Each structure stands twice: as structure tokens, then as C-alpha cells.
Amino acid sequence: MFDTLPELPPPTPLLDRVQTPVELRQLSIPQLSQLAEELRHWLLYSVGQTGGHFGAGLGVVELTLALHYCLNTPEDFLVWDVGHQCYPHKIITGRKDQMVTMRQRFGLAPFPKRDESIWDSFGTGHSSTSISAALGFALAAKLKGERKHSVAVIGDGAMTAGMAFEAMNHAAHTDANLLVILNDNDMSISPNEGGFATYLAKNLRNRISGETSAALFEALAFEYTGPIDGHDLPTLIHTLKQILPRKGPQFLHLVTCKGKGYAPAEADPVGFHAITKIEPVNQPKQPKRKRFCNIFGEWLVNRAKTDSQLVAITPAMREGSDLIAFSKLYPNRYFDVAIAEQHALTLAAGLATGGMQPVVAIYSTFLQRGYDQLIHDIAIQKLDLVLAIDRAGLVGEDGATHAGCFDIAFLRCLPDVQILTPSSHDELSLMLDYARETSGVVAVRYPRGSEASWLPKAKTKRLLPKANLIREGSSHLLLNFGPLLDQAWKAAEELDMSLVDMRSVKPLDESLLTEILKPGQLIITLEDHSVMGGAGSAVSEWLHKQGFNNPLLILGIPDRWIEHASREEQLLSCRLDALGIQRSIEDYLHPVK
């Protein structure tokens, strides 16, 4: 058991000999136990250096070794659901020394990634996709006449999503040779909610009393094995060798401890789901600044004091969306629906129809999973609802799977849906008030992290959804949408541009644009969103509709996947910092021939 994170690389003599699972399979069972200890030690060291997902990886060290020992990877398919637990897998598949580059620009990705390694069968990042993918692998092998194993490792949190059960239901129909391993540690990012979590807890109690309840999985035509101790390597290997030759869908239920082997993580699995890197002892600590999500959490609590119809819904993101205080103060008006974004949206529709005023707190990247419900169940019915869209735009180290680059584009095309883009904490509070008091669907998208340390003051302060004039200049017109206002100001100062904080993508403040726009003036739009279909596209459509022939330069996230790096590095690579904005404008005006 470890109590602290090692600051120096630990000795790992056996792990150093295992460059790939090929060498792993040459070891004896007792050697594998030693390897597990060394692997866990190296994991503690490397994540301490880089930060990243932590508890889940510690909990699957033995499972990772047992799977690679019994399977013929990479020929056999191994899919890690979400990918939070993939660090041990990366360590023993040739990436041990690269672990200290995890989540850094040009370093290892924080999730399985097919173009990073042949050992990563399937790229992941979102929850509950593993069984569908592994079933696809199994069916492909069957159609091609290949004898390959296909394994999905999924956590009890991810099993709360409907997609996992949709895949299991289909697997029964195909009779595919598929092994689903449930890594049951009684914990996702937030404490698990719902009937399935209750069922698993009851199942474990039955095991203790000498009974086994496998009815749910056997009803889906899976042959059930377990529960067994997921940290008992000899038993794991013995069980896998028994199960893998069997035909048809198999289900193995493991009980593990999230954060296994690191005492603080075992005691606080939520707090140690992910960690930040170890900072040098002599480095002065920066004061903790409020983040946009904290402002949202405070607004929700304050509003609920006088707004008895207000209810909050989250798909298993209580901590991330800062709903902890609200959940404790107003438990009857707080609904954590587990990892079920589709259900979250339609539940909100039902609550709205029933006379309540729902606020759905959801990450931009996860809102994508409930898009049909947003259209069919909410927007078409013209229901009143607030979408509090967190992690909008570039999110940094988690990379492309978690970036919220597309919400403006997929929301803007929906009739009657309004989209607001705060540039500051104060603006976020104003917009949430406006959203609550306005009929229909109002989406407020805000970034991960805090507002800029300095922001310019507006020359005008107009009521939403109107825009604010920030600066009058003599050259071009820069329209800012969202949290890059400080960078926009610096660029506007350098090029003597007029600057407007637009605040609303839909509706656009057409009256202000008509008032200040000069004939032939270059318009630049700036947004922390894809240049395809975003706020710039909205301005382009408006110009065309009005018959204006002003040139337009749309600045935002380019039409490519933005790899993991710090948010600041991502913004630099997209030329969304002040200097990048300035140079993009100059390049547009003076193209190199």
C-alpha cells in the first residue's frame, strides 16, 4: 500500500523487461504479482508528474495483466470503455517511458487512440460504447471466418447508460463470441445513481451470503460468471482461461477497488478520480480562482431560494458541473440520472410539460449524445428549458473527444432555440437569469476554467440579447462571441479596430450591426468554436440576406481535430490568442503570393 506519490522514478526491474504483452506472457504467475506491484508504483509516479485519470487505472492493474496474459493482443480485440482506466494498458504496451508525456502537447493521449498504438483496438473517451464496438469486432471476425477473441471492459458507472444495454440486447440475437467484463467498483466520477447500482449492491450482498443473482444478465442471454475478486491475479487468469473458449455472449463480473494500492485514493475515490500533477514544494501556490462552473452553481442555489419551480438535472456530472451545494440544499429538486444524456433531456421535457422549470447542466461534448431528444422532445414542443452548457470550446488535456467545438453549429439550426456566449462571470449570471425568464429553449455555453484576469469595460450596457460596444476604432470591425474578449481587445488595440461583444449568437443583434457597419469594412468574427457552422457562419448568412458585400474573416477552431495539450497551447495552435488574431487579419489583408 502506498501513502504518497513518488517524486522520483521508482525501480521497476521486471517491468523494464516487459516491453509488450509478448514478454508478459513468458512470465510465471508469481512474477505477474511482482509485475503488478511495479506497474502500480510506476503509475503512481507517472501520473504524479503529469496529472490525469488516476483511481480507475489503479483499480484494473491486475485485470490488465490478466487480459494481456490470456489474450493474443493485438490480434484479439480489447476495448476499454471510456478509457479512464487505460494507463496500465499503455504502460505494458510499449509506452512506459512515454507516460511522463501524458496529456501534454505531442505526448501520449489520455485515452486509447488507434493511431497512437496497434495495441489500442478502439478509440474511446465517451462512456458506454465498448460493448457495441466489441460486438462489431466479434461479428467482423465471424463473417471473415477468423478465430479471434473480442473483449469489452466496462465499469458499473458506464453500465447505467442505455447504449450498453442496447448492445447487450443485440449481442444475444447474434450469438457472437463476445466477452463483457464488468469492472464493478461501486463508483463512477460521481456516486452511482439508479436501479442498476442498487441491483449490483444487492448482487454483492448475495455473494456474501453464498448466493449469486445473475438473472438480469442471463435474461439477456449472456452466460454469467462471478462476482470474483478483480485483484486476485491467479483466480482472474484461471477464470479467463475457462471463459474465453466458450461460444456465445459471456459476462464476467469483477469486484475491484477504485484507487487500489494508494491509500488516499481508496479512501476518497471521487476526489482521486483524476489528479493534478505534483507541484514543486518551493513553488508559491496560486490563489484558487472561481471558474465558470462555480458561478453557475452559485447562481442555481441563489435562484432556487425564491424560484420554487426550478429543478436541476445532470447526467452523472454533479461535481464537474458544481451541483454539490444544490444537491444538498434542494435534494427533491435535484436529479442525477446517471450516464444517460438522452434520458436527461427527455426527463427535462417531461418536467417542463408538468409545470416545472428545468435547468440541464451538461458538458458540450455530452450534449451531442442527447441531440435527437433535444429536437424531438423539447424544441419541437416549444418547451421552456435552460441548457447550461459547460466545457464549451477547447478543453485542454482531454483532447478531441472532450472538446465542445460543435454546439453552436448543431443548436443554431433548431428553430426558436437561443444561444448565448458569456465573456465573463458576470455575463454568465446575467445570461442565466435571462434564460430562466425567457420562453423556449435558451442555451448558455461557457468554457472550462475561469474568466480572463482582466477584461475591458463596455461603452454600452444593453439588455440581453443585445450586444455591447466595447471599443470604437478607425479600421475593421471585430465581433467577439464568448470568452476570448481579452485577446480580442488586445488585437483591436493593436490594429485600432472597433470591438463588439456580441453576447448572443442567436438571435444576432442585427440592429447594432446595421448601425455601426461601414460600407466595405472588413468584419472579423471570433469564437471558441468550429469555424464551420458557428457564430461566424451566422454573421455570413445575415450579411448575405441583407445584401451587404462586406468582406468577412471567420476566426475560430479550424476544420481539423485539435489534439490534447493545455488550453493555452490549443488556443495558440488555432491562432486564437491576441497575436494570432492580429496575424490572421494581416495575412488576410496581405496574402503571400
* Residues recognised as catalytic: 258, 341, 369
Pairing of the two strands 504-506 and 523-530: unpaired
Alpha-carbon dihedral 227, 233, 236, 239, rounded to 10 degrees: -120
Q: Which three cell numbers stand for residue 120?
A: 489500442
Query: What are the angstrom distances between the C-alpha of 125 and each of 80, 128, 130, 585?
Result: 9, 10, 10, 35
Q: How far apart are CA 153 and CA 172, in angstroms?
A: 18
Residue 241, amino acid: K
Residue whose C-alpha is closest to residue 348's, from 320, 388, 308, 317: 388
Query: What are the angstrom distances between the C-alpha of 377 and each of 27, 343, 415, 514?
Result: 56, 11, 14, 36
Query: What are the angstrom distances between the C-alpha of 161 and each of 180, 196, 431, 457, 478?
Result: 15, 10, 31, 45, 43
How many CB atoms neighbour CB 327 within 10 A?
Answer: 18
Alpha helices in 413-552 (DSSP H): 425-437, 485-495, 510-516, 535-546
Contacts of 381 (CB under 8 A, 6+ apart): 349, 353
Query: What are the angstrom distances between the C-alpha of 544 and each of 417, 547, 550?
Result: 22, 5, 9
How many CB atoms neighbour CB 588 within 10 A?
Answer: 15
How many CB atoms neighbour CB 371 within 10 A?
Answer: 16
Angle at 140 between CA 135 and CA 143, to 5 degrees: 125
3-state helix, strand, coil in the chain (%, to 5): 40, 15, 40
Alpha-carbon dihedral 150, 154, 158, 163, rounded to 10 degrees: 10
| Ramachandran area for residue 221 (φ above 0: left; ψ -120 to 50: alpha; else beta) | left
